[in-house]
Amino acid sequence: MHLKDSPPASYSLYLQEGGEMGSLTRSFDWSKTVLGDPYTWSSNLLVTLSIILNSKVPMFLWWGPDLIQFYNDAYRPSLGNNGKHPTALGQRGEECWPEIWPIIKPLIDQVMNGGEAVWNEDQLIPIYRNDTLEDVYWTFCYSRVMDVNGEIGGVLVTCQETTNKVKTKHKIENTIVELAESESRLNNLIMQAPVAMGVLKTRALLIDRANDKILQFWGKGESVIGVPLATALPELQGQPFLEILDHVYTTGIAYSNDEVSVMLENDGVLTKYYFDLLYQPIHSKSGKIDSILVVATDLTQQVKARKIIEENSLQFQQMADSIIQMVWVTDALGMHEYYNKRWYDFTGTTFEEAKGEGWNLMFHPDDREMAWAKWSHCLKTGEHYEIEYRLKKHTNEYVWVLGRAAPFYNSEGEIIKWFGTCTDIHDQKLLQDQKDDFISIASHELKTPITTLKASLQLMKKMVDNPSPQLMASLVDRANRSMDKVGTLIEDLLNTSKYNQGQLHLNNTRFPVSKVIDDCCALIRHEKEFTIRTTGDLNLKVYADEDRVGQVITNFITNAIKYAPESKEITIHIAKKDGKVEVSVNDQGPGIAKDKLANLFDRYYRVDSSGSQYSGLGLGLYICSEIIKRHDGEIGVTSEYGKGSSFWFTLPEA
């Protein structure tokens, strides 16, 4: 064996304790094997080793293509003295087991190639130990262990040497044949047996003999001798054993089964036990069956320990896969060694692509330096890690996430791991950016007319003693326009608040939609000459709030004038479509880019986000959308960049 210093704290958490084999595993120089230093091992291998080393069940692991070996203290006695221990640790399977390799290699290949798990009971597999080749019997299971990439990484052997059991069973069977006529010798065998044994006479299953071990499990004394089993153990009613015993008695066919669950009453409490059971019929001199030998080997502690391991493994897997956030774990140096399923679903990467520093490549290029500087600072100081950055999704788009991590300390106060999460905050981030833009725009939009109003009032104040009617009228008109603009902005804000709070009241009536269009066109003032034509079925009526519908039409027309100043004609078309009335406002302006169409009716959204070309709060189309939705209608836009736009809505026909 090659020894080296204890492994660093970054992975020793998985290899803690484990008795003699835990110590040997930690001190073994793994760098001289194909597995390399343990800090490069996958989290699945480390978790599996943690379970093996701390288990009381004999366990053995072959890992990787070379089938490098690990085993625990419970397995250690099976290797005997002056045999394969301790050289078997870290050794290639073929080198360790030349005497049985032709037997076990096909079984290993079956599991490694994705076949079914292997189960063998009381299998004779001779091994070299105690300076000789011994006949050893095993009950074992070969099952796959998955690596982090979802591939088979190795073969886990859960085993129990059953040499003593098999030899005892053979001895009992031989003894039954040899001593069938010797009651005294049979009695001695039963009473001195290291396992629970008893004899049931006749088909009534009268308890004829019972050693101390079987009486202990039954929770009874010798007073049950001569009593039918069903009377002595009423808790067996509803369980299959009385029927099985009757079948053995009537057919002469022995019954044998492993890890059988039995409910037995002890001190008034029903307790579950697990046994390897043997019901062996005994023949009289005449050849007829007159009794049944019961042999029960207690496996309760072993089975419970295995079930706890299985349940814990299942709970861990379910917990890791059910967490909403992406979860990750690093060593003390910040090298990633584990990601949960959510991470792989989000990024579309493999563990090999993201392990170690591979995570850094998932950042947006503009965020990498900032994120790495923050992470490096936390690794040095132990401060909690919290930062917002953009992470590459499996769709190749970058999404804003909130990264958080906290250090995990050992008993000596040293950081040995970091546990972190990533939470998708993309929608919240975009909403916050929109709110920030809105505050900036609102400040600008309100400041401009108020400044104009203030200037007009100041000039009028100076002219109060010597007023010029013409200039005074101009100033009053300018002040009124500024007040109209402020009023419009405030009205938009109030309407938005009403819609958000569900306070919009509709006064629905039946009216021709063309009338509202005419009224809106008459009220719209614009500096340049535009031709506004209304086409389609001018007699169509709708059932809606006339003022609110006028508000939508006015917004559509003023937008067409504002954003399509070179277009000399605006067409408003009325038509019946799918049982509703559709109104569309069409211009011949520059059109709208395809990537902006989906957001046009969002709150605070403006096609020109700089705020320098067009005024407004980005609420007009949002308000229009809310009005139409409250009427159970639909609203939308079709546009091709450079070829104009068509804003439309539908309302119920009157």
The string of pLDDT tens digits covering residues 226-279 is 999 999 999 999 999 999 999 999 999 999 999 999 999 988 899 999 999 999
**Alpha-carbon distances of 212 from 222, 256, 308, rounded to whole Å:** 9, 22, 30
- Closest to 12 measured CA to CA, from 397, 480, 417: 417
What is the residue whose two structure tokens read 């890992």? 63
Among the ranges given (57-61, 72-76, 438-442), the one the predictor scored with the smallest mean pLDDT = 438-442
Between CA 150 and CA 121 the distance in angstroms is 30
Name the pairing type of β-strands 255-266 and 269-283: antiparallel
pLDDT digits (tens, 9 = 90+) for 100-159: 899 889 999 999 999 998 888 888 877 777 667 788 888 888 999 998 888 999 999 888
pLDDT band at 4 (very low <50, low <70, confident <90, very high): very low
User: Can you tell me the mean pLDDT for 29-35?
Assistant: 92
Output phi, psi for 304, to 5 deg: -60, -40
* Cα–chain center distance at 619: 39
pLDDT at 273: 93
DSSP state, 194? S
| pLDDT over threshold 60, residue 525 | no
**What does DSSP assign to residue 384?**
P
The pLDDT of residue 610 is 37
**pLDDT confidence band for 162 (50 / 70 / 90):** confident
Residue type, 370: M
Select the more confidently predicted residue: 250 or 473.
Answer: 250
**Predicted pLDDT at 415:** 95
Classify strands 580-587 and 569-577 as parallel, antiparallel or unpaired: antiparallel
Residue 227, CA distances (Å) to 98, 204, 388 in order? 55, 9, 76
Reported as a pLDDT band with limits 50, 70 and 90, residue 353 is confident
CA distance 367 to 347: 17
Residue 222 and residue 209: Cα distance in Å, rounded? 9
Check residues 274 and 458 and name the one with the higher pLDDT: 274
Cβ pair 45, 15 in contact under 8 A: no
| Domains of the chain with bracketed CATH | 9-159 (3.30.450.20), 166-304 (3.30.450.20), 323-424 (3.30.450.20), 429-500 (1.10.287.130), 508-652 (3.30.565.10)
pTM of the model: 0.35
Question: What are 170-211's pLDDT values in tens digits?
Answer: 877 776 666 555 666 777 778 888 899 999 999 999 999 999
Average pLDDT over all residues of the chain:
83
Contacts of 462 (CB under 8 A, 6+ apart): none
d(CA 213, CA 191): 9
Q: How far apart are CA 618 and CA 8, in angstroms?
A: 58
Residue 301 in 3-state DSSP? Answer: helix
- The burial of 113, by beta-carbon neighbours within 10 Å (0-12 exposed, 13-18 middle, 19 or more buried), is given as exposed
Could you tell me if 20 and 73 are in contact, meaning their C-beta atoms sit under 8 angstroms apart?
yes
Write down the number of H helices and E strands in the chain.
19, 24
Task: Give pLDDT tens digits for 582-595.
Answer: 999 999 888 888 88
Q: Comparing 341 with 446, which gets the higher pLDDT?
A: 341
Q: What percent of the chain has pLDDT over 70?
A: 81
Give the whole-angstrom CA distance, residue 180 versus residue 25.
Answer: 52
pLDDT at residue 179 in the model? 53
Give residue 537's pLDDT.
94
**pLDDT given at position 614:** 45
Name the token pair of 544: 């809606």
Residue 308, classed as helix, strand or coil, is: helix
Closest CA to 362 of 306, 401, 333, 327: 401
Q: What is the DSSP string of 33-77?
A: STT--GGGS-HHHHHHHHHHHT-SS-EEEEETTTTEEEE-TTTGG
φ, ψ for residue 560, nearest 5 deg: -65, -40
The pLDDT score that the predictor gives to residue 1 is 44
Burial class (CB in 10 A: 0-12, 13-18, 19+), 207: buried
What's the per-residue H, E or C state across 393-439? CCCCCEEEEEEEEEEEECCCCCEEEEEEEEEECHHHHHHHHHHHHHH
Cis peptide before 126 (omega within 30 of 0): no
What band does 365 get if pLDDT is binned at 50, 70 and 90?
very high
Side-chain-side CA neighbours of residue 529 (13 Å): 0
